[in-house]
């Protein structure tokens, strides 16, 4: 899939051996922030490519079974920090954490048997995820938005020693161009980050 046709997946860059390992036998699928605020066309942050990415997320989740984790971004950051300025710039998002805007989309409910990992930061990698996947563990990343929370999660995970595979066509960017730019950034970090697609991950 090219950037002009949707979420902008690149051609796979990893080895077949790595991709086979990432198909679910050793890895965890981490679905980043599949929430209404990033999916709804009525939201300023809604990705026009969310539905396309979500279809691939569901395909991956079926293959990974119980080894699926879902995260949420919640607006609970300390407003005395730069987050205060952030929410001043985006007042529509300055709501309580239990607002319907921050709920999972219906298609994401039931993807994981585990509780959601809820954090007030763009990047979702940290002790919460590492405690489950293990130090130096393998994760396959999918979700939204490629150019914010996904790339922030990928780089932090790689920096912490995790082995990261990006399912590029299971991610949705704010625009096709921003998606492609973020994927390009992540492709600069082999072998810690491998960029591939859903079909390759699911291939026998």
Q: What is the mean pLDDT of residues 100-121?
A: 98
- Contact call for residues 29 and 142 (beta carbons, < 8 A): yes
Look up the domain containing 64 and give its range.
Answer: 3-202
Tell me which residue has tokens 């994760």: 139
Dist CA 119 CA 127 (whole Å): 11
**pLDDT for res 91:** 97
Dist CA 57 CA 47 (whole Å): 15
Helix (H, G, I), strand (E, B) or coil at 172: strand
- Contact call for residues 51 and 181 (beta carbons, < 8 A): no
Overall number of domains in the chain = 1
Q: For residue 108, what are its two tokens?
A: 């994401």
All residues at 6 or more sequence positions from 187 whose CB lies less than 8 Å from its CB, including other chains: 10, 13, 193, 195
Dist CA 113 CA 123 (whole Å): 22
Residue 178 confidence (pLDDT) above 90: yes
The counts of H helices and E strands in the chain are 8, 6
Residue 204 — pLDDT band, cuts 50, 70, 90? confident
Q: For residue 54, what are its two tokens?
A: 């979500």
Q: What is the mean pLDDT of residues 114-143?
A: 98
Tell me which residue has tokens 């990698």: 125
Residue 55 — pLDDT band, cuts 50, 70, 90? very high
Residue 15 — pLDDT band, cuts 50, 70, 90? very low
- Give the percent of the chain with pLDDT over 90: 87
Alpha helices in the chain (DSSP H): 16-21, 36-39, 50-64, 82-89, 127-133, 151-159, 176-186, 198-202
Distances (CA, A) of 48 to 41, 52, 61: 7, 9, 21
Residue 26 — pLDDT band, cuts 50, 70, 90? confident
- Contact call for residues 195 and 166 (beta carbons, < 8 A): yes
Helix (H, G, I), strand (E, B) or coil at 72: strand
Residue 76, domain CATH: 3.40.50.850
Q: What is the mean pLDDT of residues 187-194?
A: 98
Q: What is the mean pLDDT of residues 80-87?
A: 98
Among residues 1, 116, 128, which one has the least CA distance to residue 53?
Answer: 1
């Amino acid at each position: 899939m090219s950037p002009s046709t949707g979420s902008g997946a690149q051609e796979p860059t990893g080895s077949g051996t790595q991709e086979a390992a990432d198909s679910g036998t050793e890895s965890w699928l981490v679905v980043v922030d599949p929430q209404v605020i990033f999916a709804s066309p009525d939201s300023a942050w809604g990705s026009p490519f969310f539905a396309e990415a979500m279809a691939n997320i569901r395909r991956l989740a079926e293959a990974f079974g119980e080894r699926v984790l879902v995260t949420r971004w919640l607006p609970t950051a300390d407003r005395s920090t730069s987050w205060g300025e952030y929410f001043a710039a985006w007042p529509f998002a300055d709501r309580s954490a239990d607002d319907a805007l921050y709920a999972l989309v219906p298609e994401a409910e039931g993807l994981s048997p585990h509780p959601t990992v809820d954090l007030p930061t763009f990047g979702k990698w940290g002790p919460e995820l590492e405690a489950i996947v293990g130090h130096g563990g393998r994760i396959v990343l999918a979700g939204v938005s490629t150019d914010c929370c996904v790339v922030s999660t990928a780089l932090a995970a790689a920096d912490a020693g995790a082995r990261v595979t990006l399912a590029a066509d299971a991610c949705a960017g704010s625009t096709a161009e921003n998606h492609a730019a973020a994927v390009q950034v992540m492709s600069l970090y082999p072998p810690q980050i491998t960029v591939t697609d859903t079909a390759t991950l699911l291939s026998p």
